[in-house]
Amino acid sequence: MMKSHIVSFCATVALATVISAQNVSASPQDYEFQLVQDALPLAQDTIISVRLMHKPTGKPVGDAVIFATRLDMAPDGMPTMMADLEALPSEETGIYRYRTTLGMEGSWRLSLAAKVQGEKDTVQSRLVLKAKN
Ligand SMILES: [Cu+2]
């Protein structure tokens, strides 16, 4: 009887250790940017919307500070062809919006770097969207 108590106690401690280790190792890989629409019209004043998700909980992250963005045509071999991005106010938790002008049909790469509350490492992402007439 005594022996089985010890075994189950050890198993509980081991499980608790695993759980706390997972908490400590929360990392940028826990977050994911997603394009709300991956095809957009070739037009002025196109709005690009991206959603930032916390993957372990499946919840959108509304308090991230996105401090670097770049939109270019690197996927089509034109990394120096860039479009300006103007950050717009968020209208929905976890959705970040940018106004741009997509002046050429093809694939555009959106690069993002973000700081998330309570996360010391930067979350970085590169998303590819299509501009179509
Ligand atoms: Cu181009």
CB 90 within 8 A of CB 80: no
* pLDDT (0 to 100) of residue 95: 97
6 vs 4: CA distance, rounded Å:
5
Under the banding of pLDDT at 50, 70 and 90, the label for residue 43 is confident
Which among 126, 131, 99, 130 is positioned nearest to 33, based on CA atoms? 126
The CATH number covering residue 86 comes to 2.60.40.10
* Inside any domain, residue 20: no
99 vs 113: CA distance, rounded Å:
17
**Ligand 1 centroid to residue 15 C-alpha, Å:** 53
* pLDDT (0 to 100) of residue 13: 46
pTM over 0.85: no
Helix (H) or strand (E) holding 16: helix 2-24
What is the tens place of the pLDDT at every residue in 94-119?
999 999 999 999 999 999 999 999 89
* pLDDT (0 to 100) of residue 122: 95
* Inside any domain, residue 51: yes
**Ligand 1 centroid to residue 72 C-alpha, Å:** 8
